[in-house]
Amino acid sequence: MTTNTLRLRVARITREAEGIQSYELVSQDGGALPEFEAGAHLDVQVPGLNGMRQYSLCNDPGETHRYIIAVQRDANGRGGSRAMHENVHEGDVLTVSEPVNDFPLLYGRSYVLIAGGIGITPLLAMARVLERTGAEWVLHYCARDADRTAFRELLATPSFAGRVHIHHDGGDPTKGLDVRALLATRGPGTRLYCCGPAGLMKAVREAATLHKWPWEKVHFEAFTAEGTSATHATAEVDFEVALKSTGQVLRVPAGKTVLNVLRTHGVKVESDCEAGSCGTCVTRVCEGTPDHRDTFFQQESAGDARMLVCVSRARSKRLVLDL
Ligand code: FES
Protein backbone atom coordinates (compact mmCIF):
# COMPACT_ATOMS: atom_id res chain seq x y z
CA MET A 1 0.00 0.00 0.00
CA THR A 2 2.87 2.32 0.79
CA THR A 3 4.36 4.09 -2.19
CA ASN A 4 7.04 6.73 -1.84
CA THR A 5 9.30 7.26 1.11
CA LEU A 6 10.27 10.60 2.58
CA ARG A 7 13.31 11.69 4.55
CA LEU A 8 12.04 14.05 7.26
CA ARG A 9 13.81 16.02 9.97
CA VAL A 10 12.67 15.70 13.57
CA ALA A 11 11.99 19.36 14.34
CA ARG A 12 10.69 18.89 17.87
CA ILE A 13 10.12 16.20 20.47
CA THR A 14 7.54 17.01 23.16
CA ARG A 15 6.65 15.08 26.31
CA GLU A 16 2.86 14.74 26.07
CA ALA A 17 2.29 12.52 29.13
CA GLU A 18 4.12 9.97 31.21
CA GLY A 19 5.80 7.65 28.71
CA ILE A 20 4.34 9.43 25.67
CA GLN A 21 6.31 11.71 23.36
CA SER A 22 5.24 13.45 20.19
CA TYR A 23 7.53 13.95 17.22
CA GLU A 24 7.12 16.85 14.82
CA LEU A 25 8.52 15.93 11.41
CA VAL A 26 9.25 18.47 8.67
CA SER A 27 10.83 18.36 5.24
CA GLN A 28 14.55 19.04 5.17
CA ASP A 29 14.18 21.93 2.72
CA GLY A 30 11.17 23.52 4.43
CA GLY A 31 8.84 22.56 1.59
CA ALA A 32 5.27 21.35 1.82
CA LEU A 33 4.62 17.72 2.67
CA PRO A 34 2.17 15.40 0.88
CA GLU A 35 -1.36 16.01 2.15
CA PHE A 36 -3.02 13.60 4.54
CA GLU A 37 -6.49 12.89 5.87
CA ALA A 38 -7.67 12.28 9.41
CA GLY A 39 -7.03 8.67 10.43
CA ALA A 40 -3.85 8.34 8.32
CA HIS A 41 -0.59 6.93 9.62
CA LEU A 42 3.07 6.93 8.64
CA ASP A 43 5.19 3.81 8.34
CA VAL A 44 8.35 4.83 10.18
CA GLN A 45 11.77 3.22 9.83
CA VAL A 46 12.84 3.28 13.47
CA PRO A 47 16.62 3.67 13.78
CA GLY A 48 18.33 0.43 14.71
CA LEU A 49 15.36 -1.80 13.93
CA ASN A 50 14.33 -3.92 10.97
CA GLY A 51 10.96 -3.24 9.41
CA MET A 52 8.62 -0.33 9.79
CA ARG A 53 6.38 0.74 12.66
CA GLN A 54 3.07 2.49 12.08
CA TYR A 55 2.21 5.68 13.92
CA SER A 56 -0.96 7.71 13.39
CA LEU A 57 -0.80 11.36 12.48
CA CYS A 58 -2.40 13.50 15.16
CA ASN A 59 -1.97 17.04 13.88
CA ASP A 60 -4.53 18.92 11.83
CA PRO A 61 -4.81 17.40 8.34
CA GLY A 62 -5.04 20.97 7.04
CA GLU A 63 -1.35 21.45 7.85
CA THR A 64 1.15 20.77 5.11
CA HIS A 65 4.30 22.05 6.83
CA ARG A 66 4.58 19.20 9.34
CA TYR A 67 3.46 15.77 10.47
CA ILE A 68 3.06 14.99 14.17
CA ILE A 69 3.06 11.44 15.51
CA ALA A 70 3.05 10.30 19.13
CA VAL A 71 4.68 7.22 20.60
CA GLN A 72 4.01 5.53 23.92
CA ARG A 73 7.02 3.77 25.37
CA ASP A 74 6.34 0.11 26.05
CA ALA A 75 9.06 -1.63 28.06
CA ASN A 76 7.56 -5.04 27.16
CA GLY A 77 7.06 -4.35 23.47
CA ARG A 78 9.10 -5.43 20.44
CA GLY A 79 11.49 -2.53 20.83
CA GLY A 80 10.03 0.00 18.39
CA SER A 81 8.65 2.40 20.95
CA ARG A 82 11.73 2.09 23.15
CA ALA A 83 13.98 2.81 20.18
CA MET A 84 11.87 5.82 19.21
CA HIS A 85 12.21 7.19 22.74
CA GLU A 86 15.91 6.41 23.15
CA ASN A 87 17.43 6.65 19.69
CA VAL A 88 15.56 9.52 18.04
CA HIS A 89 16.59 13.09 18.82
CA GLU A 90 15.68 16.52 17.56
CA GLY A 91 17.58 17.21 14.34
CA ASP A 92 17.71 13.53 13.30
CA VAL A 93 16.42 12.53 9.89
CA LEU A 94 13.90 9.67 9.70
CA THR A 95 12.75 7.62 6.73
CA VAL A 96 8.96 7.43 6.62
CA SER A 97 6.28 6.50 4.10
CA GLU A 98 3.90 9.00 2.63
CA PRO A 99 0.69 9.03 4.68
CA VAL A 100 -1.44 5.89 4.36
CA ASN A 101 -5.07 5.88 5.47
CA ASP A 102 -6.69 2.61 6.52
CA PHE A 103 -9.03 4.36 8.97
CA PRO A 104 -10.75 7.10 6.97
CA LEU A 105 -13.25 9.53 8.43
CA LEU A 106 -16.39 8.87 6.40
CA TYR A 107 -19.40 11.11 6.03
CA GLY A 108 -21.86 11.01 8.90
CA ARG A 109 -24.46 13.21 10.52
CA SER A 110 -22.70 12.95 13.87
CA TYR A 111 -19.79 11.09 15.39
CA VAL A 112 -18.86 9.27 18.59
CA LEU A 113 -15.09 8.87 18.98
CA ILE A 114 -13.73 6.50 21.65
CA ALA A 115 -10.00 6.43 22.34
CA GLY A 116 -7.95 4.36 24.75
CA GLY A 117 -4.38 5.29 25.67
CA ILE A 118 -2.19 6.06 22.67
CA GLY A 119 -5.22 5.32 20.47
CA ILE A 120 -6.04 8.99 20.95
CA THR A 121 -3.74 9.91 18.04
CA PRO A 122 -5.91 9.24 14.95
CA LEU A 123 -9.02 10.38 16.82
CA LEU A 124 -7.36 13.67 17.73
CA ALA A 125 -6.82 14.36 14.02
CA MET A 126 -10.48 13.46 13.42
CA ALA A 127 -11.65 15.75 16.23
CA ARG A 128 -9.69 18.64 14.72
CA VAL A 129 -11.39 18.11 11.35
CA LEU A 130 -14.86 17.67 12.83
CA GLU A 131 -14.45 20.79 14.92
CA ARG A 132 -13.48 22.81 11.88
CA THR A 133 -16.36 21.55 9.79
CA GLY A 134 -18.94 22.22 12.48
CA ALA A 135 -20.07 18.58 12.68
CA GLU A 136 -21.73 17.12 15.77
CA TRP A 137 -19.17 15.02 17.60
CA VAL A 138 -18.07 13.83 20.99
CA LEU A 139 -14.78 12.26 22.08
CA HIS A 140 -14.45 9.87 25.01
CA TYR A 141 -10.82 9.35 25.96
CA CYS A 142 -9.93 6.56 28.38
CA ALA A 143 -6.62 6.62 30.24
CA ARG A 144 -5.31 5.24 33.48
CA ASP A 145 -4.82 8.61 35.19
CA ALA A 146 -4.11 12.26 34.53
CA ASP A 147 -0.35 11.73 34.20
CA ARG A 148 -0.91 9.25 31.37
CA THR A 149 -3.41 11.44 29.51
CA ALA A 150 -1.71 12.80 26.40
CA PHE A 151 -2.60 16.20 24.92
CA ARG A 152 -4.43 17.11 28.13
CA GLU A 153 -3.94 20.86 27.76
CA LEU A 154 -4.96 20.86 24.12
CA LEU A 155 -8.12 18.89 24.88
CA ALA A 156 -9.05 21.41 27.58
CA THR A 157 -8.96 24.38 25.18
CA PRO A 158 -12.22 26.15 24.33
CA SER A 159 -12.48 24.62 20.86
CA PHE A 160 -12.85 21.17 22.45
CA ALA A 161 -14.81 22.24 25.54
CA GLY A 162 -18.01 20.28 26.07
CA ARG A 163 -17.05 17.74 23.41
CA VAL A 164 -14.22 15.89 25.13
CA HIS A 165 -14.84 13.59 28.09
CA ILE A 166 -11.80 12.09 29.78
CA HIS A 167 -12.22 8.91 31.82
CA HIS A 168 -9.60 7.75 34.32
CA ASP A 169 -9.98 4.19 35.59
CA GLY A 170 -6.85 3.93 37.76
CA GLY A 171 -6.02 0.64 35.99
CA ASP A 172 -9.42 -0.99 36.66
CA PRO A 173 -11.51 -0.99 33.45
CA THR A 174 -14.70 -1.55 35.46
CA LYS A 175 -14.23 1.92 36.88
CA GLY A 176 -13.80 3.57 33.48
CA LEU A 177 -16.15 4.51 30.66
CA ASP A 178 -19.44 2.59 30.64
CA VAL A 179 -19.54 1.87 26.89
CA ARG A 180 -22.80 -0.06 27.11
CA ALA A 181 -24.56 2.98 28.53
CA LEU A 182 -22.82 5.32 26.09
CA LEU A 183 -23.83 3.32 23.02
CA ALA A 184 -27.37 2.57 24.17
CA THR A 185 -28.66 5.52 22.16
CA ARG A 186 -27.56 6.93 18.84
CA GLY A 187 -28.87 9.45 16.41
CA PRO A 188 -29.62 8.52 12.79
CA GLY A 189 -26.47 8.61 10.71
CA THR A 190 -24.12 8.54 13.69
CA ARG A 191 -20.73 6.98 13.06
CA LEU A 192 -18.62 5.40 15.77
CA TYR A 193 -14.82 5.37 15.62
CA CYS A 194 -12.74 3.52 18.19
CA CYS A 195 -8.98 3.15 18.54
CA GLY A 196 -7.25 1.68 21.55
CA PRO A 197 -6.13 -1.48 23.28
CA ALA A 198 -7.82 -4.84 22.63
CA GLY A 199 -9.88 -4.80 25.85
CA LEU A 200 -11.50 -1.46 25.05
CA MET A 201 -12.16 -2.44 21.44
CA LYS A 202 -13.78 -5.67 22.55
CA ALA A 203 -16.04 -3.83 25.01
CA VAL A 204 -17.02 -1.30 22.35
CA ARG A 205 -17.65 -4.02 19.78
CA GLU A 206 -19.86 -5.95 22.21
CA ALA A 207 -21.80 -2.83 23.19
CA ALA A 208 -22.29 -1.83 19.54
CA THR A 209 -23.56 -5.33 18.78
CA LEU A 210 -25.85 -5.34 21.81
CA HIS A 211 -27.41 -2.04 20.81
CA LYS A 212 -27.63 -2.99 17.13
CA TRP A 213 -25.39 -0.32 15.67
CA PRO A 214 -25.21 -0.82 11.88
CA TRP A 215 -21.90 -2.55 11.07
CA GLU A 216 -21.05 -0.10 8.36
CA LYS A 217 -21.22 2.79 10.82
CA VAL A 218 -18.73 1.32 13.30
CA HIS A 219 -14.99 1.64 12.64
CA PHE A 220 -12.03 0.25 14.57
CA GLU A 221 -8.31 0.59 14.48
CA ALA A 222 -6.18 -1.52 16.77
CA PHE A 223 -3.08 0.14 18.09
CA THR A 224 -0.59 -1.16 20.56
CA ALA A 225 1.97 0.96 22.31
CA GLU A 226 4.32 -0.35 19.63
CA GLY A 227 2.29 1.62 17.15
CA THR A 228 1.44 -1.38 15.04
CA SER A 229 -2.04 -1.73 13.60
CA ALA A 230 -3.68 -5.10 13.98
CA THR A 231 -1.67 -7.46 11.85
CA HIS A 232 -2.19 -11.00 10.79
CA ALA A 233 0.62 -13.47 11.08
CA THR A 234 -1.18 -16.35 9.42
CA ALA A 235 0.33 -17.33 6.07
CA GLU A 236 -1.91 -16.93 3.05
CA VAL A 237 -3.01 -20.11 1.29
CA ASP A 238 -5.36 -20.68 -1.64
CA PHE A 239 -9.01 -21.48 -1.02
CA GLU A 240 -12.30 -21.47 -2.92
CA VAL A 241 -15.38 -19.33 -2.66
CA ALA A 242 -18.67 -20.56 -4.07
CA LEU A 243 -21.51 -18.17 -4.89
CA LYS A 244 -24.79 -19.38 -3.43
CA SER A 245 -26.94 -17.85 -6.18
CA THR A 246 -25.20 -19.48 -9.15
CA GLY A 247 -23.01 -22.21 -7.70
CA GLN A 248 -20.00 -20.66 -9.46
CA VAL A 249 -16.74 -21.57 -7.72
CA LEU A 250 -13.84 -19.12 -7.73
CA ARG A 251 -10.28 -19.74 -6.56
CA VAL A 252 -8.74 -17.13 -4.22
CA PRO A 253 -4.95 -17.41 -4.53
CA ALA A 254 -2.47 -16.20 -1.93
CA GLY A 255 -1.85 -12.50 -2.41
CA LYS A 256 -5.39 -11.79 -3.73
CA THR A 257 -8.38 -10.86 -1.65
CA VAL A 258 -11.84 -12.33 -1.97
CA LEU A 259 -12.98 -8.87 -3.05
CA ASN A 260 -10.33 -8.78 -5.83
CA VAL A 261 -11.43 -12.17 -7.13
CA LEU A 262 -15.13 -11.34 -6.99
CA ARG A 263 -14.53 -8.14 -8.93
CA THR A 264 -12.44 -9.90 -11.52
CA HIS A 265 -15.40 -12.18 -12.16
CA GLY A 266 -17.90 -9.34 -12.33
CA VAL A 267 -19.48 -9.92 -8.92
CA LYS A 268 -20.36 -6.60 -7.32
CA VAL A 269 -19.76 -6.07 -3.62
CA GLU A 270 -19.84 -2.58 -2.11
CA SER A 271 -16.59 -1.51 -0.50
CA ASP A 272 -15.04 1.57 0.97
CA CYS A 273 -11.89 1.39 3.11
CA GLU A 274 -10.78 -2.01 1.71
CA ALA A 275 -8.79 -2.38 4.91
CA GLY A 276 -11.24 -4.23 7.15
CA SER A 277 -12.25 -1.26 9.24
CA CYS A 278 -15.43 0.27 7.80
CA GLY A 279 -17.72 -2.79 7.53
CA THR A 280 -19.10 -1.84 4.09
CA CYS A 281 -18.15 -5.11 2.37
CA VAL A 282 -19.74 -7.36 5.00
CA THR A 283 -20.99 -10.56 3.33
CA ARG A 284 -22.97 -13.46 4.79
CA VAL A 285 -21.20 -16.80 4.94
CA CYS A 286 -23.51 -19.79 4.34
CA GLU A 287 -20.91 -22.54 4.73
CA GLY A 288 -17.27 -22.80 5.76
CA THR A 289 -15.17 -21.00 8.33
CA PRO A 290 -13.79 -17.54 7.65
CA ASP A 291 -10.37 -16.43 8.86
CA HIS A 292 -11.20 -12.95 10.14
CA ARG A 293 -8.34 -10.61 9.34
CA ASP A 294 -10.13 -7.37 9.99
CA THR A 295 -10.40 -5.21 13.05
CA PHE A 296 -14.12 -5.82 13.26
CA PHE A 297 -14.85 -9.51 13.59
CA GLN A 298 -11.35 -10.54 14.59
CA GLN A 299 -12.18 -11.04 18.23
CA GLU A 300 -15.76 -12.16 17.74
CA SER A 301 -16.23 -15.79 18.62
CA ALA A 302 -19.71 -15.84 17.12
CA GLY A 303 -18.74 -13.84 14.05
CA ASP A 304 -18.44 -16.68 11.56
CA ALA A 305 -21.76 -16.06 9.85
CA ARG A 306 -20.41 -12.89 8.24
CA MET A 307 -17.07 -11.73 6.96
CA LEU A 308 -15.41 -8.66 5.49
CA VAL A 309 -14.32 -9.83 2.06
CA CYS A 310 -11.84 -7.01 1.51
CA VAL A 311 -9.31 -8.57 3.89
CA SER A 312 -10.58 -11.79 5.45
CA ARG A 313 -9.77 -15.26 4.15
CA ALA A 314 -10.78 -18.84 4.94
CA ARG A 315 -9.81 -21.45 7.49
CA SER A 316 -11.76 -24.09 5.57
CA LYS A 317 -10.94 -25.13 1.98
CA ARG A 318 -14.17 -23.56 0.72
CA LEU A 319 -16.56 -20.81 1.73
CA VAL A 320 -20.07 -20.50 0.34
CA LEU A 321 -21.02 -16.83 0.24
CA ASP A 322 -24.52 -15.42 0.08
CA LEU A 323 -23.90 -13.74 -3.27
S1 FES B 1 -14.45 -2.25 2.52
FE2 FES B 1 -14.26 -1.49 4.52
S3 FES B 1 -14.30 -3.32 5.68
FE4 FES B 1 -14.25 -4.02 3.67
Strand order in the sheet with 239-243: 249-252, 239-243, 318-321, 282-287, 306-308
- Mean per-residue pLDDT for 2-17? 91
62 in any annotated domain: yes
DSSP 8-state symbol, 153 = H
**Predicted structure pTM score:** 0.73
Q: What is the DSSP string of 90-109?
A: TT-EEEEEPPB-SS-----S
Q: Quick one: 127 and 204 in the same domain?
A: yes
3-class DSSP state of 155: helix
Tally of domains within the chain: 3
β-pair partners for 143: 168
pLDDT at 243 over 70: yes
Nearest to 251 by CA among 238, 270, 263: 238
Q: Kindly give the number of the ligand 1 atom that is closest to the alpha carbon of 296.
A: 3
Model pLDDT, residue 229? 47
Nearest to 135 by CA among 174, 71, 190, 200: 190
Query: With contact defined as beta carbons under 8 Å apart, do 229 and 121 qualify?
Result: no
Q: Quick one: 72 and 19 in the same domain?
A: yes
129 in any annotated domain: yes
Q: Quick one: 195 and 247 in the same domain?
A: no
Residue 173 belongs to domain spanning? 110-222
- 178's enclosing H/E stretch is none
Confidence of residue 242 (pLDDT cuts 50, 70, 90): very high
Decide whether any atom of ligand 1 lies within 6 Å of the 139 Cβ: no
Q: Kindly give the number of the ligand 1 atom that is closest to the alpha carbon of 276.
A: 3
Domain boundary among 222, 255, 286: 222
Q: Quick one: 300 and 216 in the same domain?
A: no
Decide whether any atom of ligand 1 lies within 6 Å of the 262 Cβ: no
pLDDT at 119 over 50: yes
Q: What is the pLDDT of residues 60-95, one digit of tens each?
A: 999 999 999 999 998 766 688 899 999 999 999 999
231 in any annotated domain: no
* CATH number of domain containing 285: 3.10.20.30
Ligand 1 binding pocket mutation candidate from 277, 296, 309, 321 (most atoms within 8 A of CB): 277
Highest mean pLDDT among 99-103, 233-237, 276-280: 99-103
Q: Quick one: 201 and 252 in the same domain?
A: no
Q: Quick one: 198 and 123 in the same domain?
A: yes
- Mean per-residue pLDDT for 108-119? 94
Q: Quick one: 178 and 206 in the same domain?
A: yes
Domain boundary among 48, 71, 97: 97
230 in any annotated domain: no
Q: What is the pLDDT of residues 185-240, one digit of tens each?
A: 988 889 999 998 878 888 888 898 888 888 778 888 866 545 544 333 344 578 99
3-class DSSP state of 286: strand
Model pLDDT, residue 232? 31
75 in any annotated domain: yes
Q: Quick one: 123 and 185 in the same domain?
A: yes
Query: With contact defined as beta carbons under 8 Å apart, do 207 and 127 qualify?
Result: no
173 in any annotated domain: yes
* CATH number of domain containing 162: 3.40.50.80
105 in any annotated domain: no
Q: Quick one: 93 and 117 in the same domain?
A: no
DSSP 8-state symbol, 35 = P
84 in any annotated domain: yes
Confidence of residue 249 (pLDDT cuts 50, 70, 90): very high
Q: Quick one: 171 and 134 in the same domain?
A: yes
Domain boundary among 97, 118, 142: 97
- 125's enclosing H/E stretch is helix 120-133
Distance 276 CA to ligand 1 centre (A): 5
Distance 255 CA to ligand 1 centre (A): 17
Q: Quick one: 214 and 275 in the same domain?
A: no
